[in-house]
Amino acid sequence: MAAFGLNVPPAFVIGTGFCAHRDDVTPEIWGDALTTLEHASDLRLGDSRRPLLLSVRSGAPVSMPGMMETLLNIGLTEATLPGFVRLTGHPRLAWDAYRRLIAGFGEVVAGVDAQHFEADLDAVRNGEERSLDFVALRDVAGRHLQTFAKEAGHPFPQDAKQQLTEAIGAVFRSWSSDKAVTYRNLHGLSHDMGTAVTVQRMVFGNAGGLSGAGVGFTRNPSTGAQSPWVDFLFNAQGEDVVSGRRTAQGHDELAAVAPSLWDELVQVANALERHFGDMQDFEFTIEDGVLFMLQTRNGKRTPRAAAQIALDMLDQGLIDAETARLRTNGLDASSLSLSTISTEDGKSLSPIATAASAATGVASGEIAFEEDVARRRKQAGAQVILVRRDAETRDIAALELADGLLTQHGARTSHAAVVARQLGKVCLVGCETMMIDEAARCLIIGGVSYSEGTILTLDGNSGNIYAGAASVSKNVPEELLARLNQLRNPN
């Protein structure tokens, strides 16, 4: 992206060849690259006056959304935090970044359950959903340090270079995590490819004002429609959007508050498609009104979207006919048909709730909250709706078993939603009106309890949720099939 003029923070990459020898990836390997990055940024890792903060991300040869780890804000310590406050003039940003680093490092590097850090945050919020000032965030950071030491068995590392070394190792190790191995098994991918690690200067979507983080697709990955499909959160970092733990909004608020930034993002989306010749899945940050592109990759899409996008890109001159044929190979009436709720029986259905649709189609099935229950019910021949508080990629094994996914939190572009689309699952996320009572093992919507095993219907076409099973019909896209036939048989 940087090579063709987009605004990308400086970075260096440690190649896939090091993944199998990750214990040998010492500072001697990447020290010169870090020095170059420091010069480009006019900042230094661990410097008490002008500290450089870094993100550490994976970069596999094949896209595996959310299966490997990311660490943000590497380089913040008790020694560098005052300098970062002076550098930015923003104490809230500094303490927010620090508490995020401690929690993220604890979860990814030290293996501490994220719920321990969530409990710290809840304790300071005292049951209120509110934005915390820097004094409260300083309190959270202090609690996180105690939690880290207790659960990890050692203090949080206060050496910036040690943080970076351990972060790089953790991202390389995540190639072999259970969820990454499961994903590769499901998709027939080689376990020998390995991942690269990208180390990049941080930009801050949590800087307040006109700052935020987003994830987008250059076209709708469910339908193939020719418009950017973006989720965005003001005053947030990228993990807030993709983790599935927060409910992001579409682009409407960004377009309303900052129309010039939205127009710039649309232009960037078009440039990405022209350069890569395919629909892109990209991550971006806005810091104080300035757009930064962080990464891009070919986007996962439904079969129907794959056909629509290939044909439209052919018409637009972005790809040639042979490429379009290759991208639509094997797509037929069965794979392109869309399940819809049938009203032929004359019955009118009233939804019990609505959510954001991350994948189209219709699925009915028994509520299951955990993988083992989903597995038992599938073995008994039942259809299953996986119901979760968050849309997280650690649920991939359960998601593969389920016919649909319903979550209380999460965004359409969260990694778990991306995987659900790829697996052909109906997916509704961000149903904020629902609650899960874990002790009673029931779903609560509108004061009504739906126990595990109760049948729900998810309509991914409208975002509606229904109690009970609904009649379903298949919608065959005759026009799309005709265009495919003409592509395959031009004479």
User: Three-class SS of residue 174?
Assistant: helix
Four-point Cα dihedral 308, 309, 313, 318, nearest 10: -160
pLDDT tens-digit readout, 36-78: 999 999 999 999 999 999 999 998 778 787 788 999 999 999 9
pLDDT of residue 349: 80
Supply angle C-alpha 42, 47, 48, rounded to 5: 120
- For 454, counting Cβ atoms within 10 Å of its Cβ (0-12 exposed, 13-18 middle, 19+ buried), the class is middle
Work out the mean pLDDT of the chain and round it to a whole number: 92
Domains of the chain: 203-301 (3.30.470.20), 303-337+477-488 (no CATH), 339-475 (3.50.30.10)
**pLDDT band per the 50, 70, 90 thresholds, residue 412:** confident
Count of CB atoms situated within 10 Å of the CB of 259: 10
| pLDDT tier for residue 345 given thresholds of 50, 70 and 90 | low
Q: Phi/psi zone of residue 385: left (φ > 0), alpha (ψ -120 to 50 degrees), beta?
A: beta
User: What pLDDT is attached to residue 129?
Assistant: 60
Place of tokens 């993220």: 104
Over residues 98-140, the pLDDT tens digits come to 999 999 999 999 999 999 999 999 999 886 666 789 999 999 9
Report DSSP letters for 33-59, one per residue: HHHHHHHHHT-BTT-SSSB--EEEEEE
What does the pLDDT look like over 265-288, one tens digit per residue? Answer: 999 999 999 999 999 999 999 999
- Please say if the pLDDT value at position 394 is more than 80: no
| pLDDT tens by residue, 181-226 | 988 998 899 999 999 999 999 999 998 889 999 999 999 999 999 9
Confidence of residue 421 (pLDDT cuts 50, 70, 90): confident
Report the pLDDT value the prediction gives residue 384, as an integer from 0 to 100. Answer: 96
Least confident window among 204-213, 231-240, 382-391? 231-240
Q: What digits encode the pLDDT tens for the residues 142-167?
A: 999 999 999 999 999 999 999 999 99
CA pair distance 122, 374, nearest whole angstrom: 30
Q: Is 344's pLDDT higher than 70?
A: no
Task: Show the DSSP H helices in 258-295 as ranges.
Answer: 259-276
Phi, then psi, of 89 in degrees rounded to 5: 65, 25
| Inter-residue contact 117 to 141 (CB < 8 Å) | no
Q: Which of 346, 327, 431 is nearest to 388 (CA)?
A: 431
Query: Cα 437 vs. chain centroid, distance in angstroms?
Result: 25
The answer on pLDDT for 245 being more than 70 is no
| φ/ψ (deg, to 5) at 149 | -60, -40
pLDDT beyond 80 at 415: no
d(CA 92, CA 391): 28
| pLDDT tens-place string over residues 439-462 | 999 999 999 999 999 999 999 999
**Integer distance in angstroms from the first to the last C-alpha of the chain?**
39
pLDDT given for residue 392 in this prediction? 76
CA atoms within 13 A on the CB side of 254: 30
**346, pLDDT greater than 60:** no
For residue 3, what pLDDT band results from cuts at 50, 70 and 90? confident
Asked whether 307 and 336 are in contact (CB, 8 A), the reply is yes
Q: What pLDDT was estimated at residue 154?
A: 97
pLDDT tops 80 at residue 393:
no
More confident residue, 2 or 69: 69
Answer yes or no: is pLDDT of 419 > 90: no
Query: Does residue 473 have a pLDDT over 80?
Result: yes
